Copies of this chain bind each other. A is one copy, B any other.
Amino acid sequence: MKKESKVTPWEVSGKVDYQRLIKEFGLSKIDEKLLKKIEKCTGELHFMLRRGLFFAHRDLDFALEQYEKKNLFLYTGCGPSGPIHIGHAFIWEFVRWLQEKFDLDLWFQFTDDEKFLLNKDKSYKEIQEWMYENMLDIIAIGFNPKKTHFLIDTKHAGLMYPEAIKVAKKINFSMVKSSFGFTNQTNLGMIFFTSVQAVPAFLPCVIKKKKLACLIPHAVDQDPHFRLTRDILPKLGYYKPSSIQALFLPPLTGSEGKMSSSKDMNLLMTDSPKEIERKIKKYAFSGGQKTIEEHRKKGGNPDIDVSYQYLKMFFEPDDDKLKQIYEDYKSGKITTSELKDYLIKKINAYLKKHQERRKEAKKLIDKFIFSE
């Protein structure tokens, strides 16, 4: 990875070199053999697997073995500090697919404590309001209400804090200093927090009084938390959680960093069709040429074109269609403007359905929030 790039749970900046990240974090690449194993369980491969968007893992083989013994659950999460954007939905659409295909319980953590502790300028109330809004989007993604359990770090602290301290007892300041780049100026809540993030990886074992295995689908920036979790859990008598890790959905403006709620240039789940159109047309980084004439002659570069990347990563599941677009854009047969129009249509079709389901989600919240 270039020196200027940075990947931590709280900051992703610069051009991310995923091959280097695999080496640096000590991840395993998802290879053909493993894909075959998944396909054996699910009957099909999600395009995000086929296209290498979920590209790395830890002990996924073990998770699949445990699945066959009906001994596996899923754990993922949301940090509620702003609106949900398509970078979040990208991960969760895959999680939903996993839940459906493997028929698994999913424990969904809301790290409202972390987001409050991290953001100097955000009040507790503001975070709680965002959490409510975020829950609506997550429900609208279509998770199974019977098998999905929302865990809220503050609301469920009665359940989680007694478990978190068991983790915390085994982690010292040196360890979080090197894992997260903490300093003497880091606040006590942030220092403690990784213990809380570890809890859903074994809480279902506590609740169900059974030694279950855990699979965590997540974007690769969360890996430092789960590296620590994996070190600690066997000491508490649990399995190391497995993980399956995704690339970052790039921001509109190009391929450095990741899409973020805190910046203006993102695509929100609540954006109107007009807003999506405006943002894509104005900001989406283009791999096309400066003039149409030049584009027709030289062709565009889909590999750096953000619109093409969004189709590949999220909005065009059809491999044949995607291939055609790739070739047509590369040859100059379709222009950037046409490519953007196609993406806008795709996104707006997706969001239309999402927003309809979102309206219904309010009624379902109580079904999703875990209660003993």
Q: For chain A residues 124-161, which have a beta carbon within 8 Å of chain B?
A: 124, 153-161
A185 CB-CB contact with B under 8 Å = yes
Chain B residues near A187 (CB-CB < 8 A): 168-172
Q: For chain A residues 12-70, which have a beta carbon within 8 Å of chain B?
A: none
Interface pair A168/B194, CB less than 8 Å apart: no
Interface pair A165/B173, CB less than 8 Å apart: no
A276 CB-CB contact with B under 8 Å = no
Nearest-Cβ distance from residue A205 to partner chain B, whole angstroms: 15
Nearest-Cβ distance from residue A78 to partner chain B, whole angstroms: 17
Among B153, B161, B172, B192, contact of A185 (Cβ-Cβ < 8 Å): B172
Interface-facing stretch out of A174-182, A308-316, A363-371: A174-182
A255 CB-CB contact with B under 8 Å = no
Interface pair A165/B184, CB less than 8 Å apart: no
Among B155, B174, B184, B189, contact of A158 (Cβ-Cβ < 8 Å): B155
Interface pair B182/A165, CB less than 8 Å apart: no
Q: For chain A residues 83-119, which have a beta carbon within 8 Å of chain B?
A: 113, 116-117
A162 CB-CB contact with B under 8 Å = yes
Among B155, B157, B158, B192, contact of A188 (Cβ-Cβ < 8 Å): B192
Complex Cα spacing A116 to B162, Å: 10
A186 CB-CB contact with B under 8 Å = yes
A354 CB-CB contact with B under 8 Å = no
The chain B residue with its CB closest to the CB of A118 is: B169
A166 CB-CB contact with B under 8 Å = yes
Interface pair B189/A184, CB less than 8 Å apart: no
Complex Cα spacing A157 to B294, Å: 65
A229 CB-CB contact with B under 8 Å = no
A336 CB-CB contact with B under 8 Å = no
Chain B residues near A155 (CB-CB < 8 A): 158
Interface pair A165/B116, CB less than 8 Å apart: yes
The chain B residue with its CB closest to the CB of A162 is: B154
A246 CB-CB contact with B under 8 Å = no
Interface pair B194/A188, CB less than 8 Å apart: yes
Complex Cα spacing A116 to B185, Å: 26
Q: A117-B168, A124-B166, A169-B116 are in contact. Are A188 and B185 (CB under 8 A)?
A: no
Extra A-B contacts (16), CB below 8 Å, given A157-B158, A171-B187: A113-B162, A116-B169, A117-B169, A157-B157, A157-B160, A157-B161, A157-B162, A161-B161, A168-B187, A168-B189, A169-B189, A172-B188, A173-B173, A173-B191, A188-B194, A191-B192
**What are 25 A-B interface contacts by the 8 Å CB criterion?**
A113-B161, A113-B165, A117-B169, A124-B162, A154-B161, A155-B158, A156-B158, A157-B158, A157-B162, A158-B159, A161-B161, A164-B189, A165-B189, A168-B188, A168-B189, A168-B192, A171-B187, A171-B188, A172-B184, A172-B186, A173-B185, A174-B184, A176-B188, A188-B192, A192-B192
Q: Which residues of A contact B (CB under 8 A)?
A: 113, 116-117, 124, 153-162, 164-166, 168-174, 176-177, 182-189, 191-192, 194-195
